[in-house]
A and B are shown apart, each in its own frame.
Chain A
């Protein structure tokens, strides 16, 4: 599978290429993830990537959520994200109300054996990025053939 690479593309072309790639892998049934009830969207929406080193990179969109209010639990084959989103208080009256507040909890079964000890999480611009390496044992090992 080709890595996403934007070399030689202008920013707009890069964005369109990215959108195409994300579209093609939409709810990819071959990915081997068990994400719970299918059909209805669950909060937060997740995108799962592999990086050049074979690490798993999981992105979740959680705009307006205080990072202190997000709990991440990582087991070898399962990631659980939970937390709460609260909306700012206002003295006035609302003309329009589309944003939602409330608690969320989401568990995702991951296909590979991951190394929870070496996971990192970063929160930027309302997107949570979790990077997890695979367990050392799970990484493919080259076996050399001894000449007889």
Chain B
């Protein structure tokens, strides 16, 4: 298998016209996968420390947010830039949210990537039914 070259793209920005304080907010790239046991989500938020990430599950709305700490840039003078930093926000509506065990949701930050695991409730897991004859 040939290794492909990793192409870059600029951060997508969230345009919210009616903010009281105009902080630039970006949309993190996300992968979502589902297997028999759980829903997995990975969101890229480079530069965001674990302490500045929030994950909220409200009814069927999953909201991820993270913020970079400007204090890390204290004393640095920009000379040349290609990317900006700030907040990340993304919201998802979970389809058929009743099948998840919300209390068992877990979230973890690793190398700037937020990984969320939302296990399915017992009822939702596929079960093999024995056919007797």
Choose among B3, B40, B76, B83 the residue that contacts A45 (Cβ–Cβ < 8 A).
B83
CB of B50 to closest CB in A, whole Å? 8
**Candidates B23, B48, B76; contact of A16 at CB < 8 Å:** B23
Interface size bucket, B side?
Answer: 35 or more
Number of residues from A at the complex interface, CB < 8 A: 69
The docked-state distance in angstroms from the alpha carbon of A11 to that of B8 is 30
Q: Which residues of A contact B (CB under 8 A)?
A: 1-6, 11-12, 14-19, 21-28, 31, 33, 40-52, 56-57, 61-67, 84-85, 87-88, 90-104, 123, 125-127
* Alpha-carbon distance between A56 and B73 when the two chains are bound, in angstroms: 13
- A127 vs B81: C-alpha distance when bound (angstroms): 14
Q: How far is the CA of A99 from the CA of B71 in the complex (A)?
A: 28
Given the contacts A92-B33, A94-B33, A48 and B81 also touching, CB distance less than 8 Å: yes
Is B59's beta carbon under 8 Å from chain A? no
The prevalent SS among residues of B at the interface is loop
Give B79-107 as 1s and 0s: 1 = Cβ < 8 Å from A's Cβ atoms: 11111111100000000000000000000
A22 touches B31 (CB 8 A): no
What distance in Å separates the Cβ of A47 from its nearest Cβ neighbour in chain B? 5
Inter-subunit contact B35/A41 (CB<8 Å): no
